[in-house]
Amino acid sequence: MSTAAEGPGMEISMTVNGEARSARVDPRTLLSDFLRHDLGLTGTHVGCEHGVCGACTVLMDGQSVRSCLLFAAQANGMRVETIEGLATRPDAMHPLQDAFWEHHGLQCGFCTPGMILSAKELLAANPAPSDEEIREAIAGNICRCTGYTFIVEAIRSAAEQMRAEAGAAEVRSDG
């Protein structure tokens, strides 16, 4: 467990990308600032700072949240997942990351972490979403580059890949 230097503020503890983390923070520290500045997880982007663009989206106990609207103290005791924690191995990307790459679901990449984490939440609840369900799930994430068509294709492709991998794992466990 890593601990920040002693000082004024409040002690918080959470699990970030599977690792127990604790720190002393000012009670007004935003979760996005804590992730980026205190933990060095700069994949969580800050765009509008009003919760409108979705670039700062992370998963907190499996639910997508706007980290620019939450205080780090509100994540105390929670599980937080950022884009850096998505891949389970250092030598391979998560199927969503692969699909965004393969289907040109990103251009500048600024919105991509938030889009991918919103998609992960969707696919955890609905492994076979329709294009309309995908569009609804990412509606709170603004992309100024792609026009969303390739993003929807990427999420659909990742869903297919993840279902295929889950089916293969099920066959292996039955075998």
Average pLDDT in the 115-119 region? 98
Q: How confident is the model at residue 6 (pLDDT cuts 50, 70, 90)?
A: low
Average pLDDT in the 110-124 region? 97
Neighbours of 49 (CB within 10 A): 14
Q: pLDDT tens digits for 45-76? A: 999 999 999 999 999 999 999 999 999 999 99
> At 148, which amino acid appears?
Y
Q: pLDDT tens digits for 121-152? A: 999 999 999 999 999 999 999 999 988 999 99
Q: pLDDT tens digits for 75-103? A: 999 999 999 999 888 889 999 999 999 99
What is the DSSP track for 111-170?
SHHHHHHHHHHHHHH-SS--HHHHHHHTTT---SSS-SHHHHHHHHHHHHHHHHHHHHHH
Q: pLDDT tens digits for 19-46? A: 999 999 999 999 999 999 999 999 999 9
Ordered structural domains, the chain, with CATH: 10-85 (3.10.20.30), 95-170 (1.10.150.120)
Encoding tokens for residue 144? 């100024």
Confidence at residue 22, expressed as pLDDT on a 0 to 100 scale: 96
Integer Cα distance of 97 and 62 in angstroms = 18
Mean pLDDT of the chain: 93
Q: How confident is the model at residue 163 (pLDDT cuts 50, 70, 90)?
A: very high
The CA-based dihedral angle spanning residues 81, 54, 123, 109, taken in that order and rounded to the nearest 10 degrees: -90
Q: Say what percent of the chain tops pLDDT 90.
A: 83
The strand pairing partners of 12, in sequence order, are: 23
Q: How confident is the model at residue 175 (pLDDT cuts 50, 70, 90)?
A: low
